[in-house]
Amino acid sequence: MNPADLLTLYDETMRKHAHPAGMTRESTSRVSRYTTGTASQRFIMWHDFAATDAAGAVDDELHAVQGRAHVLMWKLYGHDPARDALRTALLVRGFAENDHSTLMMVPVALLVESLSLAETPGSTSIDVRQLTIAKHLDAYQNIWDNVWPDAPNSRYVNDYRALIERGETGILFYAGFAASDNPVTSGYMFHHPGDAIALLCGGTTKAAWRRQRAYTRMLAIRAQAAVERGASYLAVEASPDSKPILERLGFTPLSTLAFYEKNIG
């Protein structure tokens, strides 16, 4: 599938008509909204309106989120219609612009092959495990607070604990541990049963354990899970550090993106 067709598939499957674990979807002719079950946050994942309507659309969503969620997040991609006008409208209304990343995709089979060729026996001593109990996500809090000390990590960790407690099957959590059960690397995967695409998220490693193949080990574990669940493609929102690694493994850059975030109260 060529990059343009991959991007169309992503927009339809993972944005406009997505099924993110534990979230409720509401759609209008202009946006697709997704609200967490804990009401911690609402995501605007897809939109379709002209640049002249951007300011009014943001105002409409700020009104619609009142009493429904505590944080409004707008996920804005480089290929989106009205991208520049929408970014301006969000910033003027007090949304914080988070770090930019690159949307990348790869056929699962190609990644599995690439990782197999790149694997060196005994190249890592990190033990990767699936996390299936809410208490296990203490590992995420530990890792993320170490890597991103100023981020609202507990907001996400608490949402994910709730998903585990409810038995959600659309998200899988993994962490890698060094000696003495020290959590050092994380990575999870969204995949709705039957969808062609699985989305890799949360991949990060504490600085002291980088360059020990923890990142590729976590990729391999999730790629195998995607194969077992019948996904055809893997997508990832890659940081500048991750992008060159993923390109070497066969991922294709499709677009750029950033989150715009505003506390609602």
Q: Where are the alpha helices (DSSP H) in the chain?
A: 3-10, 54-64, 83-92, 108-118, 138-147, 153-165, 214-229, 243-248
Give the model confidence (pLDDT) of 20-79 as tens digits.
999 999 999 999 999 999 999 999 999 999 999 999 999 999 999 999 999 999 999 999
Q: What is the per-residue pLDDT for 86?
A: 98
Q: What is the per-residue pLDDT for 118?
A: 60
Q: Please, are residues 36 and 229 in contact by the beta-carbon 8 Å criterion?
A: no
Instruction: Report the CATH fold assignment for 103-254.
Output: Aminopeptidase (3.40.630)
At 182, is the secondary structure helix, strand, or coil?
strand
Q: What's the rounded mean pLDDT across residues 154-176? A: 95
CA torsion sign for 163, 164, 170, 171 is positive
Amino acid residing at 85? A
Strand partners, 186: 175, 204
pLDDT band at 215 (very low <50, low <70, confident <90, very high): confident
pLDDT at 227 over 90: yes
Give the model confidence (pLDDT) of 117-156 as tens digits.
666 555 568 899 999 999 999 999 999 999 999 988 999 9
Kindly tell me the number of DSSP H helices and DSSP E strands found in the chain: 8, 12
Q: What's the rounded mean pLDDT across residues 2-15? A: 96
Q: What is the per-residue pLDDT for 120?
A: 54
Q: What is the per-residue pLDDT for 214?
A: 85
Q: What is the DSSP letter of 95?
A: P
| Least confident interval from 38-47, 116-125, 215-224, 247-256 | 116-125
pLDDT at 99 over 90: no
Structure tokens at 215: 């990142």
Q: How far is CA 191 from CA 19, 75, 99, in A?
A: 8, 19, 24
Domain spans in the chain, listed from the N-terminal domain onward: 3-102, 103-254
